[in-house]
Amino acid sequence: MKSWLTKSEPSGIGFAVCEARLWLWRHPEWWSLGLSGAAWLLLVVPAASERHHHVEVGLWSSWTTEVFHWSVMVIAMMVPLIVDSIRYVAARSLWARRHRAILGFVAGYLGAWLGAGILISVALSLLRQHVSLDSMIMGGAFALAAVWQLTKAKQRAVRSCHRTVPLAPQGWRADRDCLRYGWMIGGGCLTSCWALMAACALAGHSLWPMACATLIGLGERYSVRPDQRVLAGALATLAGLCVAMALFSPR
């Protein structure tokens, strides 16, 4: 059967190209998810991780590296959580400028996170100068995230991540609106996920806490009726694992 737009029968390269193009049309978020995938790759590369753990050459160098890792972590973990908003921005824009609209939205969104990242990175760098951020502290941070998960303020914030706003159709107003919308959603996500992300940053942007936290975030965003107690329980388990590591790992 031919699809609603394909000219050719379901065989041959022409059909495959047409179907691929249709898929990309239906999923304008493809490149932002690609960006997220690239960020995960960057985190997986052991050299990146090792370099991070050996930055102790000075406060300036330390916090700029921290900001870099924070940014990579945000792109990796948070972009998959805003797929609905990215699709919304694309669908509410003129066809010719929908990827430009997404770019503006993502820039605004990451801008909000970057602002927070700079503050957190400076704080973490200062802390690292004086305190050893061990697994016990990580456990405390994830426990705080578990408590935050059960608050009404957190629920309000996660709903605000799904806000929609009218976007001007063209011109500088359209760019401004997309940027502003991204900033607004970024602010909502920041309020919603600050504890989780701060815990991941305290964990030195290690892969396994980030992977677990991402799964929890995805479960919250894409479940029909997410059970906050289950999500808080998962975070508490994460906290427990950190504490266990602190207690039982060889010194």
Partner 1 sequence: MYLFYFEQIVTAAIVKLGGPSDWALPYWNYSDGNNEDSRRLPAAFIAQKMPDGSPNPLLVQARDEGNNGNPVGDAADVDVSACLGEAAFPAASTGGDPGFGGPQTTFHHSGGVTGSLETTPHGNMHVAVGGWMGAFNTAALDPIFWLHHANIDRLWNVWRQRDSKHVNPGDSQWLTGVAFQFHDASGNAASMTSGQVVDSTASPLLYKYEDESDPLPQPTPSAVPRFAMAERPIPEMVGASSEPVTLTGQPAHARMVVHPPTGPAREARAVGAAPRKIYLNIENVTGSGRARRYSVYLNVPEGSDPANHAELYAGDLPMFGVVESSRADERQPGTGLHYRLDVTKIIDALESKGAWDPQNVRVTFAPKPWGSAEKHALSAADRTSDHEIHVGRVSLYYA
Q: What is the DSSP letter of 154?
A: H
172 binds partner 1 (CB under 8 A): no
Identify which of residues 32 and 93 has a Cβ nearer to partner 1 in the complex: 93
Identify which of residues 12 and 169 has a Cβ nearer to partner 1 in the complex: 169
Total binding residues for partner 1 by CB under 8 A? 39
Contact with partner 1 (CB under 8 A) among 54, 130, 225, 251: 225
248 binds partner 1 (CB under 8 A): no
Identify which of residues 95 and 208 has a Cβ nearer to partner 1 in the complex: 95
Q: Using CB under 8 A, which residues numbered 52 to 111 contact partner 1?
A: 84, 87-88, 91-96
What b/e readout covers 49-84, taking b as 16+ CB neighbours within 10 angstroms?
beebeebeeeeeebbbbbbbbbbbbbbbbbbbbbbe
Whether 236 contacts 154, CB under 8 Å: no
| Rounded-to-integer distance, Cα 202 and Cα 175, Å | 35
- Rounded to 10 degrees, the C-alpha dihedral 196/198/199/202 comes to 160
* Six-digit token string for 200: 């991941």
Scanning 1-9, 57-65, 73-81, 105-113 for contacts with partner 1 by CB under 8 A, the matching segment is 1-9
Whether 164 contacts 86, CB under 8 Å: no
Identify which of residues 192 and 214 has a Cβ nearer to partner 1 in the complex: 192
Q: What is the CA radius of gyration of the chain?
A: 20
Amino acid identity, position 183: W
173 binds partner 1 (CB under 8 A): yes
- Phi/psi of residue 130, nearest 5 degrees: -120, -25
Contact with partner 1 (CB under 8 A) among 5, 17, 41, 44: 5
Identify which of residues 26 and 229 has a Cβ nearer to partner 1 in the complex: 26
- Placement of tokens 């797929």 in the chain: 83
- Placement of tokens 């609905």 in the chain: 84
The distance of closest approach from Cβ of residue 79 to partner 1 in the complex, given in angstroms and rounded to an integer, is 17
224 binds partner 1 (CB under 8 A): yes
Scanning 48-56, 67-75, 106-114, 158-166 for contacts with partner 1 by CB under 8 A, the matching segment is 158-166
List contacts with partner 1 (CB under 8 A).
Answer: 1, 3-5, 7, 22, 25-26, 84, 87-88, 91-96, 152, 155-156, 158-169, 173, 221-226
